Amino acid sequence: MSDSDIKFYYFNLQARGELTRLIFAAAGRSYEDIRFGFDTWPEYKPKMILGQCPVLEFADGTQIPQSLTVARYVAREAGLAGSDNLESAKIDAVVDTQRDVNEVFYGKVFFEKDEAKKAEEMEKFLTETLVKHVENLGKLKKAYSTNESYFVGNKLSWADLFVFQSIQILLKAVPQVQGKFGDQFKPLFDAINGNDKIKAYLDARPETDF
């Protein structure tokens, strides 16, 4: 993966595109970060292989769609997807576990338009779903990690970045979840925020709604 050959297309949002940007940042890899607004999306949509984004594009025009597929590919190329197949599977297990709860939050809470139902689903999410999720992540970390900071082994992986980014977005959208995580994720957050390459990206990235 030649740095100069890569273009990454996504809205000027974090949402489904930020994980890949964080992976690029952690790896110190350069790429063309093509951001656009909803007003200019119609110009890009016909050029995307599935008419959706994010999309990773190579110099020969090859496009890879689907947010986690793109993130996984970039992580593999950057050495952030495990040292062997078993470690990669452990990383994928953490990613899929986080994805499950993300889908519940966005599908049943965040985008719910009926306010009464939204309040009901939010209560269930905070008191049941999120509590169980934190427990599940703890189980995976206990089984797979060899240090206090990272989920798998003793070094940063894209699973760590996915959990980090997911929690950050959740905290911004629902500040009252702050106390639900306890100190369990503090070592991870400290490690990521203390990474010079990631910190430089976080300090420089555009401010967006979510």
Q: 153 exposed, middle or buried (CB, 10 Å; 0-12, 13-18, 19+)?
A: middle
In this structure, how many other beta carbons lie within 10 angstroms of the beta carbon of residue 37? Answer: 9
pLDDT reported for residue 1:
58
Contact criterion met (CB below 8 Å) for 19 and 99? no
pLDDT reported for residue 181:
78
Whole-structure pTM value: 0.94
- Distance, in Å, from the CA atom of 18 to the CA atom of 161, rounded to the nearest integer, reads 10
What pLDDT digit, counting tens, does each position of 154-181 carry?
Answer: 999 999 999 999 999 999 998 888 877 7
Domains located in the chain, CATH noted: 6-79+198-204 (3.40.30.10), 85-194 (1.20.1050.10)
Distances (CA, A) of 178 to 38, 71, 172, 181, 186: 31, 27, 10, 6, 12
pLDDT tens series, the chain, 210 aa: 555 589 999 999 999 999 999 999 999 999 999 999 999 999 999 999 999 999 999 999 999 999 999 999 999 999 999 999 999 999 999 999 999 999 999 999 989 899 999 999 999 999 999 999 999 999 999 999 999 999 999 999 999 999 999 999 999 998 888 877 778 899 999 999 999 999 999 999 999 878
What is the maximum span of the chain, computed from C-alpha positions, in angstroms? 50
- Reduced to 3 states (helix: H, G, I; strand: E, B; else coil), residue 12 is coil
What pLDDT digit, counting tens, does each position of 36-53 carry?
Answer: 999 999 999 999 999 999
What pLDDT digit, counting tens, does each position of 196-209 carry?
Answer: 999 999 999 999 87
- Distance, in Å, from the CA atom of 41 to the CA atom of 47, rounded to the nearest integer, reads 10
pLDDT reported for residue 3:
58
- Helices within the chain (DSSP H only): 18-27, 41-44, 67-78, 85-104, 115-124, 130-144, 158-173, 186-193, 196-204
